[in-house]
Amino acid sequence: MGKLVTIKIDGKEIKAEEGSNLLQTARDAGFDIPGLCYYDKVSPSGACRLCLVKIDGMRGLTASCTVKVNEGMNITAFDEELEGHRKAIVELLISEHKLGCMTCEVDSGCGLEDLAYRYDVTVDNLPFPARSEHLPVEATSPVILYDPNKCILCERCVKACYEIQGKGILSFAERGIDTYVATDLGGLWVDSNCDGCGECIQACPVGALVEKPSIGKARKWEITKEETICPYCGVGCRIEVEKKGNEIIRINGADGPANDGRLCVKGRFGYEYQMNDSRLTTPLIKENGAFREASWDEALDLIADKFTGIKNKYGSGAFAGLASARCTNEDNYVFQKFMRAALGTNNVDHCARLCHASTVAGLARAFGSGAMTNSIKEFEHADCILVTGSNTTETHPVIATYIKNAVQKHGAKLIVVDPRRIDLVKYATLWLRQQNGTDVAWLNGMMNVIINEGLADEEFIRSRTEGYEDFAAVVKEYTPERVEEISGIPKEQIIEAARVYAQAENGSIVFSMGITQHITGTDNVLSVANLAMLTGNVGKLYSGVNPLRGQNNVQGACDLGGLPNVYPGYQKVVDPDVKAKFEAKWNAKLDDKVGLSVTEMMDGAGEGTVKALYIMGENPMVSDPNLNHVEASLKKLDFLVVQDIFMTETTQFADVVLPSFSSYEKSGTFTNTERRIQLLNPVLDPPAGTRDDWQILQDISNRMGYKMNFTSAEEIMEEVADVSPIYGGVHFKKLGVEGVQWPCKTDDENDRGVLYLHKDTFSRGLGHFSPVDFIPPAELPDKEYPYMLSTGRILFHYHTGTMTRKVSALNSFESGPYAEISPELAETLNISENDDIRITSRRGSIVTAARITDKVAPLSVFVPFHFAEAAANRLTNDALDPIAKIPELKVAACSVEKA
């Protein structure tokens, strides 16, 4: 808060913050000064001229939206002259506006309509003729419709696209009365780089930009609005759901702590799945190889009986369960409690194993805590951001906007280290293209330069860390020359990157699956941690080591004990004191051994040691590596229960399928990638016949004799707070819109948790430097499989596609599988765009369409993993990181041929 000053508006004295926006200040003080171009999320443009005021000492009239408040300002906001001009401006706007108000999507929610009403301007009493010429409507985007005849050219959309989303796709084309908003200075919307985030629609004060899927669905007054958290990625954007009855009409970005109202195309348009006809609405039991509908009682009794039988016959070790990164914290808590207390096993894991197991392992070892050290909005203020192994624009689109803001608004330097020419490369000061799987080498190389050039933070190393000497001895061997040989990155670039990062006041590292999904995933993470500690870039604002978590609640699923080695709150299962505490709290005898990880469960099932598997909201038949092996394993199980909202590739192998809630229907909490626990709102009624995930688990548990009697998600969180110190201060009543960031240990209302971790001291005390040597990937291209295969996500789809592939808006951007190959490879193999190609690895083979692009390196192939019909994971290698047990999804060798 800046200095308070006194200003006068129409004779009334007002206290306001010095430097604040005059229009906003006046409006906050109750002066309803009109204005259509002012939008508090972007810089003022002063275009509509409606907010003109008179300011003593300033010549002429001044647009108040462009003025900052100063001590002693004396303002006239309303007088006859100003109101006369305002009316004239509204008349001019109406004269060029297509008055299709009765069929307009924003009728009764339109800024211009409101002003026409206020100033009594109608087409009949205009002092001059309305314009008759009509420009063509731009409707080529799959999700956005732009009607230039309704556009008032306020520039809010143009600014939103650039200043908020960092994309700069929209601009004005032509000039004067012919001006319109265009992509690429006048090209077709569909041909542009527009990815459909819809930030422009949200910024539009009139009906010029609207959501195509919402057209004709509802009048504004039929709509009710409720806020909740987006069901997609780990950013945890707050959304405003507009609904008519129980149907979603549209979704807007709401001002949440992680997103400030921003959204991506999935968050805004990816809701259609919720109302898809194929939602499961009744339990299914497989009989003679086919599913039949069953009552809840029958299904739950059957599961309880089967499980009791298996437990009696094979013991607790025969069970395994996959918790879910899509379900709430409360669901996951009950899930692991059921597995541990009712079934008696620590064989609980979930797909975090496949994404950030190595992060948790590595950062726990280096810092004592395996989560994002800093917070999302800090990215905008970092001086240098090193992004590696994260295609942030596609996987965490809203986080990418803050990174772009840092570069575009504040001049931050962005270093991208990635084998692919990802979108962020366009914004980068430096792009280092390493060979897949050589991350330890280039990280050591950067650190070699930093040490040699005296750029290390010696005070930080001395006072905050241990293990430096052993670490430095290893790094010494990684000269830029040697690293160039290993990684393929020119040594000059390594040196430059080292200098840029080390010399930044605040350097932030962002990473994701490109770092973690390797047999050296833990090593990679340790190296990243080393780099941050070496330069003192951890434990302070705008810096840190920031693994981006992929799914909406993957952080929470880990926090709540959906892992085989820890109880909720990362309390180790092998610690006898901890075990004793949980045995007392849960009134049950607990397993004292670390349980099986995802891949080990599949091995166990394949080998016959695991007899029953309980899967809550996961789809390993698409998400897991080496699918042929997964398929064989699932088939061998005695009993498989899957709880989901749709039939999936995995449910086909189930014995019982149970229908549950989608996240729009849920109460409970998600924990986003910045450790922020946020409250969900059940904005829709669930389909009849479905039950909430935790409820189902509790019912089975009770049937098996282990009593749980939670009556609400809130009650579950109370128990979590009781048993898990890092969630100790988390209570629904306290969460509000802002949520809290763990660790949040006290009930104090003002304890909102921790914005950034490891201030003054690391969770483990001293930060630990680990000496890490480079180890090549498990499988590299050879004569038989000559190309480098890598897999990943794309913007328009999510995980195994169970949700996004049921959304026509998203399918219209990208509807099916493809593989990216380089122009060089295409030429060598005589492949044209969209040709079917066969990609084969030692584990399997898929046929998919070729997409020729220089995004990939010349001898590399990239396959998105969302598409079951050409599942990338038929090809991937299930070789594991020895510590984190994460498979090497990012590197495999493959062959390519025309199909």
Partner 1 sequence: MATVPKLDVLICGGASCISNHSHDIKDKIFEELKKNGIEDEVRVIETGCMGPCELGPVMLVYPDKVFYQRLKPSDIETIVSDHFVKGRPVEEKVLVSETTRAIIEKGQQDTDFFKKQTKVVLSNCGRIDPENIEEYISENGYAALGSVLTSSTPDEVVETIKKSGLRGRGGGGFPTGRKWEFVKNTTNDQKYVVCNADEGDPGAFMDRSVLEGDPHCIIEGMSIAAYTVGANKGYVYIRAEYPLAIKRLEHAIEEAREYGFLGENIFETDFSFDLEIRIGAGAFVCGEETALIASIEGERGNPRPRPPFPAISGLWGKPTLLNNVETYANIRHIILKGWEWYASIGTETSKGTKVFALSGKIKNTGLIEVPMGTTLRELIFDIGGGVPDGKKFKAVQLGGPSGGCVPEEYLDTPIDYETLIELGAMMGSGGVIVMDEDTCMVNTARFFLDFTKSESCGKCVPCRVGLVQLHALLDKIVKGNGELEDLDKLEKLCYSVKKTSLCGLGQTAPNPVLSTLRYFKDEYLEHIQDHRCRAKVCTNLVTYTIVEDACRSCGICAKNCPVDCISGEKGVPYVINQDICISCGTCYDVCPFDAITTES
Nearest approach, Cβ of residue 7 and partner 1 (Å) = 16
The smaller minimum CB distance to partner 1, of residues 47 and 284, is found at 47
Nearest approach, Cβ of residue 730 and partner 1 (Å) = 43
Q: Which stretch binds partner 1 (CB under 8 A): 82-90, 292-300, 352-360, 558-566?
A: 82-90
The smaller minimum CB distance to partner 1, of residues 43 and 834, is found at 43
Among 22, 26, 53, 153, indicate the residue that binds partner 1 (CB under 8 A). Answer: 153
Residue 755 touches partner 1, criterion: CB under 8 A: no
Q: Which stretch binds partner 1 (CB under 8 A): 148-156, 258-266, 336-344, 716-724?
A: 148-156
Residue 128 touches partner 1, criterion: CB under 8 A: yes
Residue 66 touches partner 1, criterion: CB under 8 A: yes
Looking up tokens 């348009």 gives: 269
The smaller minimum CB distance to partner 1, of residues 155 and 195, is found at 155
Residue 44 touches partner 1, criterion: CB under 8 A: yes
| CB-CB contact of 280 with 287 (8 Å) | no
Residue 46 touches partner 1, criterion: CB under 8 A: yes
User: Residue count at the site for partner 1 (CB under 8 A)?
Assistant: 36
Q: Which stretch binds partner 1 (CB under 8 A): 38-46, 210-218, 609-617, 696-704?
A: 38-46
Cα–Cα distance measured from residue 894 to residue 744, given in angstroms and rounded to the nearest whole number: 47
Cα–Cα distance measured from residue 163 to residue 203, given in angstroms and rounded to the nearest whole number: 12
Provide the CA 852 distance to its chain's centre, in angstroms: 27
Residue 534 touches partner 1, criterion: CB under 8 A: no
796 phi and psi angles, rounded to 5 deg? -85, -10
**Interaction residues for partner 1, span 442-481 (CB under 8 A):** none
Among 41, 85, 377, 482, indicate the residue that binds partner 1 (CB under 8 A). Answer: 85
- DSSP characters over 733-795: HHHTTT-EES------TT--B-SSS-SSSBTTBSEE---------S----SSS-EEEEEE--T
Nearest approach, Cβ of residue 169 and partner 1 (Å) = 14
- Of 899, 886, 781, 890, give the one whose Cα is nearest residue 841: 781
> What's the one-letter identity of residue 757?
L
Residue 152 touches partner 1, criterion: CB under 8 A: yes
Find the angle CA(486)-CA(490)-CA(495) to the nearest 5 degrees. Answer: 105
Residue 127 touches partner 1, criterion: CB under 8 A: yes
Cα–Cα distance measured from residue 892 to residue 437, given in angstroms and rounded to the nearest whole number: 10
Q: Which stretch binds partner 1 (CB under 8 A): 63-71, 324-332, 576-584, 874-882?
A: 63-71
331 phi and psi angles, rounded to 5 deg? -60, -45
The smaller minimum CB distance to partner 1, of residues 170 and 303, is found at 170
Give the x/- contact pattern for partner 1 in 488-517, rule: CB under 8 A: ------------------------------
Q: Which stretch binds partner 1 (CB under 8 A): 86-94, 220-228, 668-676, 718-726?
A: 86-94
Cα–Cα distance measured from residue 284 to residue 635, given in angstroms and rounded to the nearest whole number: 18
Nearest approach, Cβ of residue 50 and partner 1 (Å) = 8
Give the x/- contact pattern for partner 1 in 173-192, rule: CB under 8 A: -xxxxxx-------------
Q: Which stretch binds partner 1 (CB under 8 A): 84-92, 218-226, 307-315, 755-763?
A: 84-92
Cα–Cα distance measured from residue 520 to residue 777, given in angstroms and rounded to the nearest whole number: 8
Cα–Cα distance measured from residue 346 to residue 323, given in angstroms and rounded to the nearest whole number: 12
Residue 386 touches partner 1, criterion: CB under 8 A: no
Output the CA torsion 727→733→737→742 (10° steps).
-10
Residue 63 touches partner 1, criterion: CB under 8 A: yes
Q: Which stretch binds partner 1 (CB under 8 A): 140-148, 150-158, 254-262, 392-400?
A: 150-158
741 phi and psi angles, rounded to 5 deg? -110, 120
Residue 47 touches partner 1, criterion: CB under 8 A: yes
Task: Reduce the DSSP state of residue 292 to 3 states and report it.
Answer: strand
Cα–Cα distance measured from residue 165 to residue 404, given in angstroms and rounded to the nearest whole number: 8
Question: Six-digit token pair at 71?
Answer: 């001590």
The smaller minimum CB distance to partner 1, of residues 160 and 363, is found at 160
Other C-beta atoms closer than 10 Å to the C-beta of 137 total: 14
Residue 171 touches partner 1, criterion: CB under 8 A: yes
> What's the one-letter identity of residue 162?
Y
SS3 content of the chain, % helix, strand, coil (to 5): 35, 20, 45
Nearest approach, Cβ of residue 250 and partner 1 (Å) = 28
Question: Six-digit token pair at 200?
Answer: 């422009």
Among 22, 42, 48, 432, indicate the residue that binds partner 1 (CB under 8 A). Answer: 48
Residue 5 touches partner 1, criterion: CB under 8 A: no
Nearest approach, Cβ of residue 19 and partner 1 (Å) = 12
Residue 60 touches partner 1, criterion: CB under 8 A: yes
| CB-CB contact of 833 with 867 (8 Å) | no
Nearest approach, Cβ of residue 180 and partner 1 (Å) = 9
Write a three-state SS string for 224-284. Answer: EEEEEECCCECCCCEEEEEEECCEEEEEEECCCCCCCCCCCHHHHHCCHHHHCCCCCCCCE
Q: Which stretch binds partner 1 (CB under 8 A): 122-130, 320-328, 346-354, 580-588?
A: 122-130
Residues within the interface to partner 1 (CB under 8 A): 44-50, 52, 60-61, 63, 66-67, 84-85, 88-89, 92-93, 95-96, 127-129, 131, 152-153, 155, 171-172, 174-179
